[in-house]
Structure 1
Amino acid sequence: MKKIVLIGVTGFIGSELVNELLNRGFEVTAIARSVEKVKVKNEHLKVVSVDIFDKEKLAEVLKGNDAVISAYNPGWTNPEIYEDTIKGYRSIIAAVKLAGIKRLQVVGGAGSLLVAPGKTVVDTGVIPEEILLGVKSLALVLKEQFLPEKDLDWVFFSPAGVIEPGERTEKYRLGLDDLIIDEQGNSKISVQDYAKAMVDELETPQHHQQRMTIGY
């Protein structure tokens, strides 16, 4: 599995994912709203601009690749982030199917992770108001679009509660639906370790049609 499409290459996580993929020798087709924002230059990287909401055109770009990683985010300052996230993932899932690709790995959110039986991070009220709609929409995408999805071999990879620039320590824990916290009660991961774990999962799939998460 060496030909990969990365959706959302210019974002905080997407920009780290493209470095991880290229460093491991993948052929990457990167999809971005604004191709001029992609600063990485590499002979194994092709950058394409395509309307995410146009599933037929998106499928044409995806065809011939082995897998898709989506770090799609319509923009935290987008007033339509809730609707666009739901609409965007509906289109991405449809396009992946049209392209005949089975493996889809998604940069998920931490908001839907469990902190206690039946209680999610969103339920705790700790999510800042300015990003709450985006967090809630990703949680709904997991519940209504991915969990019922039986045709694709999908993975929804939720980061820790806090994901930030740091080191590629390679020392972290993986889990499924429960927020991973350290001895001090903090839930953190570096974007470098998150990207490493995402590509590890791509190279050697351990999760199928399920959510996974990460933390120190």
Structure 2
Amino acid sequence: MKVSLIGASGFVGAHLLTELLNRGHQVTGIVRNAAHVKEKNVQLTVKAVDVLNTVELAEAIKGSDAVISAFNAGWTNPNLYDDFLAGSEAIQKAVKDAGVPRLIVIGGAGSLFINDAQLVDGPDFPADYKAGATAARDYLTILKNEEAIDWTFFSPAIEMHPGITTGRTGQYRVGTESPVFDEAGRSSLSVQDLSVAIVDELEKPQYIKQRFTAGY
């Protein structure tokens, strides 16, 4: 499959890139700075594109079977909320303008529900992540009105960070609107198994025009 991966040099994007290439997909890596992509593979083309330039982005992704967006406006960005929404909406427009039929968005866990309340609205939600999580939640609301493309929004497990050292097990369980908890009451997933879940959804779609999540 021909896949354009936005944010291919980031924490999530770099692992997604490895998973896609290991499964034999032809990947166009879309990044701010091409030098940040260390992977070398004959199946990989790297392009430096500003996602806000929808004309340039549409040209870069044209001919793809799908776009996977691991776009991140930067956790320390003081304008994170607005920049995340602007970038996400620009990507969505470029996908439509390029005629790409499929968009998979890596969002946040904050929009997941426990007891009818979204995590991001809870009193214990970490303040450092609130702007980004709120932006991802609000973008999901926007995406739900998209009818022209087959979109999927993925919410990671509550614990999905470099400290999860499980690696790639290839094992995970899925959910839709609420976190997936294990027997110990933890919602966790390694970034490698997040990548497995995303590429599985790419290859065998189960959640068209839906959100899903995954955990152990």
Deviations 1:62-97 (A, max 9, x none): 111110000000111111111011001111111000
Task: Identify the residue that residue 13 of structure 2 maps to in structure 1.
Answer: 14
Hey, what's the Cα distance between the residues in 2 that align with 1:171 and 1:19? 17
1:116 CA displacement: 1.2
Identical amino acids, percent of aligned pairs: 47
Secondary structure, aligned partner of 1:178? coil
- Under a length normalisation based on structure 2, what TM-score does the superposition of the two structures give? 0.96
Runs of 4 or more off by more than 3 Å in structure 1? none
Hey, what's the Cα distance between the residues in 2 that align with 1:55 and 1:7? 13
Task: Identify the residue that residue 129 of structure 1 maps to in structure 2.
Answer: 127
- Under a length normalisation based on structure 1, what TM-score does the superposition of the two structures give? 0.96
Q: Is the 8 A contact 2:181 2:187 kept in 1?
A: yes
Structure 1 residue aligned with 2:153, among 153, 156, 161?
156
Is 1:115 the equivalent of 2:124? Answer: no
Deviations 1:17-45 (A, max 9, x none): 00000000011000111111111111111
Hey, what's the Cα distance between the residues in 1 that align with 2:103 and 2:123? 30
Hey, what's the Cα distance between the residues in 1 that align with 2:134 and 2:96? 25
1:86-125 to 2 correspondences below 5 Å: 86-117=85-116, 119-125=117-123
Task: Identify the residue that residue 197 of structure 1 maps to in structure 2.
Answer: 197
Structure 2 residue aligned with 1:139, among 129, 137, 140?
137
Hey, what's the Cα distance between the residues in 2 that align with 1:125 and 1:36? 40
Unaligned runs of 5+ in 1: none
Amino acid across the alignment from 2:11: F
Is 1:79 the equivalent of 2:70? Answer: no
Q: Is the 8 A contact 2:54 2:90 kept in 1?
A: yes
Secondary structure, aligned partner of 2:11? coil
Hey, what's the Cα distance between the residues in 2 that align with 1:124 and 1:169? 31
Hey, what's the Cα distance between the residues in 2 that align with 1:27 and 1:173? 27
Hey, what's the Cα distance between the residues in 2 that align with 1:126 and 1:32? 33
Q: Is the 8 A contact 2:172 2:197 kept in 1?
A: no
Secondary structure, aligned partner of 1:13? helix
Task: Identify the residue that residue 188 of structure 1 maps to in structure 2.
Answer: 188
Unaligned runs of 5+ in 2: none
Amino acid across the alignment from 1:210: Q
Secondary structure, aligned partner of 1:162? coil
Q: Alpha carbon RMSD of aligned pairs, Å?
A: 1.0
